[in-house]
């Protein structure tokens, strides 16, 4: 079946409010009004209200980089899914390798966030992927399978269909290294086959699996041409409007 591609931008902790506004306007000016793929922007929390106001009625969808699993409470500095929903946010990234590594988010924590995001009416972009030492030990398939099993395979079929999965080889994030199209396709197919075994062919064929790991304008088309790669989760390259527009065009 034909899956609509997604190009999602993760700005991480970059750009002031005015810089973010300028970038959003450049994207709006440089992109067609109607797109054949989904474009998702995940700026810092401080930019979300502005983003929602600027992209309302366009093909760009607003996303958050992070959320807390609890609905409310004494969690200084955190943001709930209900807060994001009240702004009009559509997607929320969870399980990103930087959250796992720098903030010690375990598979159990990610699982609870997936549940909270779905319960709150947003779409999770669930991230999974292996480090360089795991890849060099040829353990990447087992490692990713465990992430899938422990974070999302508890979901019922209807809830699971709402997910977007992003495979991010940690060794290729911000390093300039990129998985080859063959490596990306191999892992994406493995993820899809693992979903098929856990659920069924209909669900595995529907789920969109993004690639995230040093995507650039000059490699996006080749990566996106792989049959099981349904777009990308783009980090640093999404901060450069001309290059990001070319990445989007490669998907659309």
Residue in 66, 130, 168, 188 annotated catalytic: 168
Nearest Cα to Cα of residue 120 among 89, 156, 164, 151: 89
Residue 29 is a catalytic residue: no
Residue whose tokens read 């529907």: 206
Which residues in the chain belong to E strands, given as ranges?
6-10, 38-42, 60-64, 91-94, 123-128, 164-167, 208-211, 231-234
* Four-CA torsion 242, 130, 103, 153, nearest 10 degrees: 100
CA distance 145 to 152: 10
**Residue 125: closest CA among 215, 20, 231, 52:** 231
What Rg value do the Cα atoms of the chain yield, rounded? 17
168 labelled catalytic: yes
Q: Kindly report the number of other CB atoms within 10 A of residue 211's CB atom.
A: 31
If you write DSSP's letter for every residue of 97-114 in order, what string do you get? Answer: HHHHHHS---HHHHHHHH
3-state secondary structure of 30: helix
Catalytic residue among 47, 66, 68, 96: 96
Pairing between β-strand 6-10 and β-strand 231-234 as defined by DSSP bridges: parallel
**Residues forming the active site:** 96, 168
């Amino acid at each position: 079946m034909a899956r609509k591609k997604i190009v999602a931008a993760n700005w991480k902790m970059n750009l002031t409010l005015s810089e973010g506004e300028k970038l959003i306007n450049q994207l709006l000016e440089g992109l067609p009004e109607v797109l054949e793929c989904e474009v998702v922007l995940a700026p810092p929390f401080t930019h979300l209200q502005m983003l929602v106001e600027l992209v309302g009625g366009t093909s760009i969808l607003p996303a958050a980089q992070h959320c807390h699993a609890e609905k409310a409470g004494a969690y200084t500095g955190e943001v709930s899914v209900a807060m994001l929903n009240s702004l009009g946010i559509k997607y929320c990234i969870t399980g990103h390798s930087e959250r796992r590594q720098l903030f010690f988010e375990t598979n159990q924590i990610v699982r609870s966030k997936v549940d909270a995001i779905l319960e709150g009416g947003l779409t999770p972009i669930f991230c999974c992927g292996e480090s360089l030492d795991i890849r060099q030990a040829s353990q990447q398939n087992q490692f990713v399978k465990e992430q899938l099993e422990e974070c999302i395979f508890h979901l019922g079929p209807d809830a699971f269909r709402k997910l977007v999965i992003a495979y991010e080889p940690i060794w290729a994030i911000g390093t300039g290294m990129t998985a080859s199209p063959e490596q990306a396709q191999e892992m994406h197919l493995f993820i899809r086959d693992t979903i098929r075994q856990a659920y069924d062919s209909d669900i595995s064929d529907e789920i969109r699996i993004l690639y995230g790991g040093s995507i650039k304008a000059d490699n996006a088309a080749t990566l996106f041409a792989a049959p099981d790669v349904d777009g990308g989760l783009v980090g640093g390259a999404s901060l450069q409007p001309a290059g990001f527009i070319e990445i989007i065009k490669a998907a659309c």
